[in-house]
Amino acid sequence: MKYDWKALRDKPAFLALEDGMIFRGYSVGAPIDGAGEVVFNTGLTGYQEILSDPSYNGQFVTLTAPEIGNTGVNSEDMESRAFAASGLLIHQLNNASNWRSEEGLSAALLRQKIPAIAGVDTRALTTHIRHNGAMKSFMSVEGKLSPEEAITKARTWAGLDGQDYAAKISTQESYVWDLDGRLSSAYGSREDLPAVDTPIVLLDYGVKWSILRLLRRLGFKITVLPAKSSATDVLAHNPAGVFLSNGPADPAALTYAHESIRHLIGKLPIMGICLGHQLLGHALGAKTCRLPFGHHGCNHPVKDLRDGRIEITSQNHNYTIDPATLDTSEVEVTHINLNDQSIEGIAHKKHPILSVQYHPEAGPGPHDAAPFFRQFRELIKS
């Protein structure tokens, strides 16, 4: 990208928040207006993994790191087939300068029809969200709307509460993941992978490929099923266990998933991550509630209450299990977030079931919690 400040000034764009605030910049992505929920992510790296994480569907991601674009975009670091976030807000867009880069960030955003605004005062925007909470917003990059019109569009957008985005972004057909190891080898190294010896079903609510890669590296044969698959659909594959994936939007809206998971409890081992963790909570009779501004980033401290160990984790969620609704005679809280004491992990006291709110696969990192996937294998064996 050649820096031509006059050309940038000729592409003015702005973000309008439902509370009337306006944040201005210039368009560096697709010239497509749209609504979304604005959140901030505190990761210093990994913007490609963030953009391609299906859990960000319906959201505009504000990156707190000021310099974005240096590493470009490449096919090996994608977390899904395409960018899933609804928009991107950054302070400074840089040219790609990395040996693994295959495409510049702006070109990738344009090709994948994702709007983005650079030149934003992201510190001010992050502080505003931190104090007032994640909120509905409208990104105006086409140059056709006044700020007042964009604010109205933000306020009238349905938002994410009560919305099922998982069914929209989930696979529509079942498939078996990567038996030849092409996508599961690290960074194209074609490392030797174990033979598949344990069949599992993964319910896809918006799964990240890093989850599938790590499960494959442990020898699981993974059959991925659509979000709306029933317990009967799952059991028809005779799996040794069931994995509940991450995904976007409101877990309370996925009543079909609550029902399917409820009918699987006690029949085989179950493990969940993020949205899968929240859906498991609903299936066990608990409720979920919204966090003020969510957890989005690579530096969230989580304490394992069983042994006192602290892990630095990657997280991306707006909702959490309400501890007041959890039946502690049946379910144990295994992990808590040290920033706000919210629930980060649960385990059933009678059945082989456990889940975590954070992301142990953590593309691009940290990897403190990666052994979680081995716990699933041990749970099945035991």
Could you confirm whether 332 is annotated as catalytic? no
C-alpha 175 chain-centroid distance: 21
Closest listed residue to residue 60, CA positions, set 18, 20, 95: 18
At 156, give phi and psi (nearest 5°): -90, -5
Q: H/E/C letters for each residue in 200-259?
A: EEEECCCCCHHHHHHHHHCCEEEEEECCCCCHHHHHCCCCCEEEECCCCCCHHHCHHHHH
Whether the bond between 292 and the residue before it is cis, its omega within 30 degrees of 0, is no
> Exactly one of 91, 277, 282, 359 is catalytic; which is it?
359
> Exactly one of 18, 79, 311, 361 is catalytic; which is it?
361
How far is Cα 236 from Cα 227, in angstroms, rounded to an integer? 16
The pair of structure tokens assigned to 318 is: 């707006």
Could you confirm whether 148 is annotated as catalytic? no
> Exactly one of 49, 128, 274, 317 is catalytic; which is it?
274
At 36, give phi and psi (nearest 5°): -170, 170
Could you confirm whether 361 is annotated as catalytic? yes
Burial track 33-42 (b if 16+ CB lie within 10 A, e otherwise)? bbbbbbbbbb
- Active site members: 274, 359, 361
